[in-house]
Each structure stands twice: as structure tokens, then as C-alpha cells.
Structure 1
């Protein structure tokens, strides 16, 4: 049994969608979550900036004794995980847009990917896309402007809907039957997205798959906790109240951190 916490970081509140899936599957595990909202969105930063922020976040979580780190951010994963795995001697769980299941199951052979610029322009994303999209048309769309809205608690309303209509309508007109959400913030927009794309389009995010992978890695390295009353600490370096908004149904501690 290993009672050290699982560390999770994201560019902001979006990774809470991943945390919820991990907590649901692994209710006995302690967690520490770092929301680097001060530097959100990562998707508009350079590769070097993303790497340096990811190193800073990793070292913060390591200093708090985390036994494994989940990079709950597509942009940070695609730009930094290779370096982090080489540099630090703990397991890292990353997140990539779920192109593979979309491509394998698409009947129209046309899928959409809604992600940040930082993810869509990364080498890892382009390699994954090439590996699984043979015979498939992949329509990539940068969701510019969505992350700041979600960070401020706006997950519906006119601003959100207008941006989503702008980004999704061209995909719909080209006949997508799967939409891959390539940013952990975007699952909070699923109700609005589903209204726009209708039930003819299947929406895929990575939360459940990441939770299952986290469980398997903990078991592989004999790092699992068992039968303890778990504790959950959340930190934000911008506005803890915005983070609390996405965690109202959970008994967790949420604090501001000057980080």
C-alpha cells in the first residue's frame, strides 16, 4: 500500500474533468491538484514556455510527495511529457486527443478534433494523427477563446454558443460523425456542443480512459492505496473561487497559492 497522493496539474480548471474520473474510479487515493490558471491558456504559448511551466508544476507536486503525476492538459502532454519522463523518476500519465477510437469507429470516415493551437501544432499530436487516420479525413479546429471563458465559469450562454457555432458548423457541413475534444476544459461544454452537433455526432473525451490508465499504472508499480479515507487538496494561483465552482459537489480543500 502506498499512501502518497496522486499529483495532477493543468493550465487551469479544465483538468478537474479528469480529476473527477480518477476520483470516481480510485476513491481511496489521496490527490493534490494544481491549477496554473495564472498562465492559462497554455495553448497560445510557445513550446518552450509550456515545457518550463510543466517543469515548475511537476517540481511543485514532487515537493509535496506525489507518487505519480497526471498531466491533465493536452497541450502540456504533447509538448512536455517526453522531457518529464526522461528527467524525473516517477510515472507520468499524459492526455492526447482520442483520435484512435474516433477513426476506428467512424462510419462517415470524417472526424473533427476541437483542441488548442498548442496541441494541434505539436509533434506528438501530428504523429498520433498520422498513425490512426489513414483513410480518414480529420478536421482540426483551434478552439481559441474557449478556455478563458471556461476559466471564468462561463460554460454556456451567448459567448460560448457563438464560438462553438463558428468552430463546429464547418465540421458538421463536412459530415463528421465523431468529435474529439482535445482539451480537458472542453468536457464542461458538452451540453452545448451536443445541442449544436445533434445526436448524429458522437463526442469523445479522454477522462475515463485516463482514469483507467492511471489505475493500471498504480497497480503495475505497486503504488495503489487501499481502504483509506481519501483527502483532496486543490490549489489555484489565480482565483480559488473559480476552481471551487467546478467542485461544488465534492468535499475537497481549495486554496489560493502564490505560485
Structure 2
């Protein structure tokens, strides 16, 4: 990479769904995707650990010359976004569950939010619901193990199917007509989620909104690049395992390097 890359950070490979949206909107930018798979899943980790880990990774990405950072992980955003913004002087886009647009769309006045336990327990999520959820029933459904199973067992596995049965059913029973995909892994199983909900249910994913916001920030800071659209992938875990998962999810073979922040 000759141009300064944009860093995209997630606990695992769910953030590849965000990376796809970023590349579609910003095809001339270079990207460095970092998957902290050594500590996957984030959803059950203590908030203090996630805050410290998020800041450390962000600082190392900045030191490597990245010009902007996308925190492509709802759990990391919930625990560490404010600390990351205070620690590094870069344009930052951080994910959060799409509660506000879901509330604007619902007709039944019931929305479902599928997310990790840590995301739903966070003060950031509580503030989001308090600010926008008056008069709306928000079914906050924790999904322990789902992100892990998508990466390890695959989107078509019996393990993932059983978890989706358990986690999606309460949303259907409650009458939700909008479902927020509050973890970047979940778009990989969006069709399976939709199949468990009534026809016409709206599923919300934030990848495109993140791409638009990043484009605005880069333009405002005069940081638009003319790179070659290159992508590098690094992990704190096992590169061969991550490469196999990338191949399975994207249908694309890519080299993965090991990096420990």
C-alpha cells in the first residue's frame, strides 16, 4: 500500500460486511482490516478489558500510518468508542445498533435488536433506547455464541440454525416488524433470520450508513485517497484459520498476516 490506508477493526470477521460496504462506496481507498480473533468473542468480555484493548489496537493502527479508523464492532463501540476518540487524533466512525432508524420504520411499534450480551448491557445502548424509544417496545435479544458459531461452524451449520431458532423466535412472538442486526456478523445470516420472521419484516444493517459517514469525514478533513483499492488483513490469532474463514465468507482467497498490537 502506497496511500495511507483506512483501518477497519473488529473482534473477528463480522466486520467484513462493513468492509464490503466501504469498498463499494470508496473503491479508490486502501484498507487495513484487523481481526482481534485471539480474544473472540468480545460479547462476553468485561467492559474494562474491551476498553483497554480497543484503545491499544487503535493506537497501534494510528502508529502504522492509518488515516482513519472504522470500529466495525458494536461491542467494541459500546465499551470503548469514547476512550478511543480521546486516545487518537483520527477521523473515527464507530458502529452502534440502528435503533433510531428502526423506530422510524416500525408500524407495529415493536422492534427487535439482536446483539451481543455486552452491547445490550452497555450504557451507550441504554442511552440510545432512552433517547429514541419512547412509546416503542424494544426487544433487546442477547445472542451469546452466535458470532462465534458463524465464524467457526459456518452460516449453514446446524449450530447456527439452532441458535437462530432460540434468538429470533422471541422477536416473532412479540410482533416485531423491524429487526436490527446489532452485530456485524449477523448480516451473514440475514436470510436465515428473515425466514424465521413474518414476510415483510424489515432487517436493518448499518454498513451502508457507516460508509456514507466515513466518506463525509474524509471529505471534510481533505483525506480522500487515490489508492489502488488494496486490502490487507491482519489478525492477532491464527492467520491460516482466519484465511479459511475469509475464503468461506467472501469466496475469496486472501493472505492474512499475524499482528499482535
Whole-Å Cα distance in 1 between the matches of residues 140 and 36 of structure 2?
Answer: 26
Whole-Å Cα distance in 2 between the matches of residues 167 and 150 of structure 1?
Answer: 14
Partner of residue 23, structure 1:
23
The counterpart of 2:246, out of the listed 243, 252, 256, is 243
Partner of residue 256, structure 2:
254
Q: Encode CA deviations 1:101-154: one digit per residue, 9 max, x unaligned.
A: 110110000000000011001111110111111110000010111011112151
Q: Encode CA deviations 1:176-214: one digit per residue, 9 max, x unaligned.
A: 000001101111111211111142311001111001111
Give unmatched runs, 5+ long, in structure 2. Answer: none
Whether the aligned pair in 2 keeps the contact of 1:232 and 1:253 (CA below 8 Å) is: no
CA drift at 1:27:
0.4
Whole-Å Cα distance in 2 between the matches of residues 249 and 182 of structure 1?
Answer: 25
Whole-Å Cα distance in 1 between the matches of residues 119 and 260 of structure 2?
Answer: 27
Superposed, which structure 2 residues align to 1:81-100 within 5 Å?
A: 81-100=81-100
CA drift at 1:5:
0.6
Whether the aligned pair in 1 keeps the contact of 2:178 and 2:202 (CA below 8 Å) is: yes
Secondary structure, aligned partner of 2:114: strand
Whether the aligned pair in 2 keeps the contact of 1:244 and 1:254 (CA below 8 Å) is: no
Partner of residue 144, structure 1:
144
CA drift at 1:158:
1.7
Indicate yes or no: 2:191 matched with 1:188: no
Partner of residue 234, structure 1:
233
Partner of residue 32, structure 2:
32
Secondary structure, aligned partner of 1:44: coil
Whole-Å Cα distance in 2 between the matches of residues 129 and 153 of structure 1?
Answer: 32
CA pair 153-223 structure 1, distance change in 2 beyond 3 A = farther
User: TM-score, normalized by length of structure 2?
Assistant: 0.93
Structure 1 stretch displaced more, 144-153 or 29-38: 144-153
Whether the aligned pair in 2 keeps the contact of 1:38 and 1:237 (CA below 8 Å) is: yes
Give unmatched runs, 5+ long, in structure 1. Answer: none
Whole-Å Cα distance in 2 between the matches of residues 86 and 60 of structure 1?
Answer: 14
Whether the aligned pair in 2 keeps the contact of 1:42 and 1:75 (CA below 8 Å) is: yes
Structure 1 stretch displaced more, 143-152 or 233-242: 233-242
Whole-Å Cα distance in 2 between the matches of residues 87 and 61 of structure 1?
Answer: 12
Partner of residue 70, structure 1:
70
Secondary structure, aligned partner of 1:42: coil
Indicate yes or no: 2:141 matched with 1:135: no
User: TM-score, normalized by length of structure 1?
Assistant: 0.94
Secondary structure, aligned partner of 1:169: helix
Secondary structure, aligned partner of 1:215: helix
Partner of residue 108, structure 1:
108
Whole-Å Cα distance in 2 between the matches of residues 85 and 11 of structure 1?
Answer: 18
Number of aligned residue pairs: 256
Whether the aligned pair in 1 keeps the contact of 2:59 and 2:88 (CA below 8 Å) is: no
